[in-house]
Structure 1
């Protein structure tokens, strides 16, 4: 399609959300050229990707196209749609609004933090308790062995649970197998879904996952970097089962293949749908390893494979559960501060060291990621709380969790105005 041939009016005359969705996919692919963290996965038609990537479209023009598509959706009367059509209409609107806003930011627009999180992620920024981390530090201080300051004791403790390089493969395989087994006890995985684990060297990342379509994901683990054993379980649950891989396989089957909703063949990390998707992935470990079952899994399965003493598993599980909350909430705290202007870059780096117990080098690397991803850590943290509060602790919690995975679900569908209750 020639760019000059597209107008919102042409799509409106067709009265077809499929046309809006198809052009949304092209806009997302165009934006991904300028923003390497925008598109997380694409498994749609090759010809659509080919058509889109034959040209480079600047962000300001992408924003205008998105505005045209939003205007087109405004001319489609939801009362003329069935229930599924209304859900699609609402979600497409949120996805396009996020894309338009992100393109505008790349084109030089400046937004206040509240406006950015609302437009990109469908959430309102929640005020935090300034002393939110004290109780977590007290937990760590009470249980970490040795003498000295909290930072030194924490780092020494965690360094003692680095997986030996020659044991990475059995530990990761067992973690993914265990998470898949437990997930399959509660929900039906799509037929033929599979997740392949591979190992590599010479990369800057610890591990990475790519969803390639047809229910298939590829996980790559970097054997050059030290990986503590809790990270194996984090990757298995957050990236695998019942996390990102599971959600994408389920939605590909239900939305792309069954309904033909092409907009769900591209996964972006910037949209209201991402808030819920990332929140559910963050909750995944708690869903399949509730209570003491996480420590038991370390003790009985992962620690023996890594050569660690099984009797240390309970203490390790307590420490890493607290540090996981520190990291999730601390990343959001720093992102809020940077985007709102209440933290300078140096103050943000110091917060990462003092609160998250990172060394200077790790804090600088984390800060660089937060600057690149902007409000994403805020969306992940609030998405986790929104999904967790919606799931609850009742007998129907897995039924509710499965509905979240099947989607499409927006933050406002789970609670009032996208705010955690």
Structure 2
């Protein structure tokens, strides 16, 4: 729509969307009180957060508020908006709809698991070949030392690449520094952007990142837990560069500050936008460390810092690649089977051990993760496939990846057209 066609009514509709977005942020913060995993980050105005958290709103009422917001959006004619306004209208609707569904579930509403996946994440759970894990198992069996039980051999191999505690700090620092350097070769980071790393003890998590706003993130690495050398790089790419920290710093500047779209100041775990964001974060490591470049960085960077023989880097990379496929696809399959009712908890436990090759402690932790985050593992796997297929392997793959990384996109935005939006 050309500027000359703007009217007072258009302006009113834009202000209506601003009001809807502001109240959506409050609803998300309210829901985060009941579901702490729902709000992954908030970097909007402190006054909005303080006003929201001054009261406690039950989930069923939040769902009702979300329905009212959707009704308000229905009264706004997208055809009267400029292109960016139409995009905002569509995406805001999907964000609110996901919040309504999640609040309803917490309020006691029942929803079939496949319907939950589609309603919250905007994707359909696809059926996989029941023998999907044969190929990665065959790769592991051919590459892992020794004979016999595959799970025991895999765990023994990975245990031999746990970073010694005294070498954890230089290994993580190098992984983040190199991933940042490679990322800046393809896209500029906002002025003042920084990521701070510290090392703690006595926490249940391996590593944790929080985006604080003003393009700043804090990373906490647990020096008590065993961390294999691949995890340093995977975490640096997925959470740091070009992953969530990069994504949030750029979107904060471009969407929240430049456009005033306050809805993007709250990052929720469950929404169709999260599906694409998570998919881009997973793909990030492949983008900046394609093919042999990850092996080279293991050989020349991380292995010497961690005290490992660089001559084992190629074998280690092959094992990690196969196990990554197992975990990404396997988590989704187990979550869908278990929460969808096709698998008992005992059967899900056995699959995690026999197929994903987890030890008993890791299996229990993975089951608890699935029970808490529900459809998220499915969205992670499907989001990765959607973004990977969209990016492709053509000459414009980096242009496409940056588009998926930095723009608020729905899964349908990437699958409905082969062109950049």
TM-score range, shorter chain: over 0.9
2:177 paired with 1:182? no
C-alpha separation in 2, matches of 1:196 and 1:70: 39
Give the superposed CA RMSD. 1.2
2:205 paired with 1:205? yes
Partner of 2:406: 406
Partner of 2:276: 276
| Cα shift at 1:147 | 2.5
Secondary structure class of the residue paired with 1:16: helix
Secondary structure class of the residue paired with 2:208: strand
Partner of 2:43: 43
Contact 2:21 2:263 in 1 (8 A): yes
Contact 2:13 2:76 in 1 (8 A): no
- Size of the aligned set, in residue pairs, is 406
2:325 paired with 1:345? no
C-alpha separation in 2, matches of 1:13 and 1:416: 27
For structure 1, the 5+ residue unaligned runs are 1-11
C-alpha separation in 1, matches of 2:66 and 2:82: 24
C-alpha separation in 2, matches of 1:277 and 1:413: 12
Q: Deviations over 1:178-235 (max 9, x none)?
A: 1001111111111211111110001000000000001110010000101000000011
| Cα shift at 1:416 | 4.1
Q: Deviations over 1:11-52 (max 9, x none)?
A: x99961000000000000000000010000000000000110
Secondary structure class of the residue paired with 2:148: coil
For structure 2, the 5+ residue unaligned runs are 1-11
Secondary structure class of the residue paired with 1:64: helix
Contact 1:201 1:223 in 2 (8 A): yes
C-alpha separation in 2, matches of 1:256 and 1:174: 31
TM-score normalised according to structure 2 size: 0.95
| Cα shift at 1:114 | 2.4
Q: Deviations over 1:379-420 (max 9, x none)?
A: 000000000000000111110111112211000000149xxx
Q: Map 1:103-118 to 2 at 5 A.
A: 103-118=103-118
Secondary structure class of the residue paired with 2:355: helix
C-alpha separation in 1, matches of 2:183 and 2:78: 36
Structure 1 ranges of 4+ moved more than 3 A: 12-15
C-alpha separation in 2, matches of 1:36 and 1:125: 25
C-alpha separation in 2, matches of 1:66 and 1:139: 48
C-alpha separation in 2, matches of 1:74 and 1:100: 15
C-alpha separation in 2, matches of 1:205 and 1:57: 30
C-alpha separation in 2, matches of 1:14 and 1:357: 52
Contact 1:15 1:76 in 2 (8 A): no
Contact 1:250 1:405 in 2 (8 A): no
C-alpha separation in 2, matches of 1:363 and 1:286: 27
Partner of 1:370: 370
Secondary structure class of the residue paired with 1:211: strand
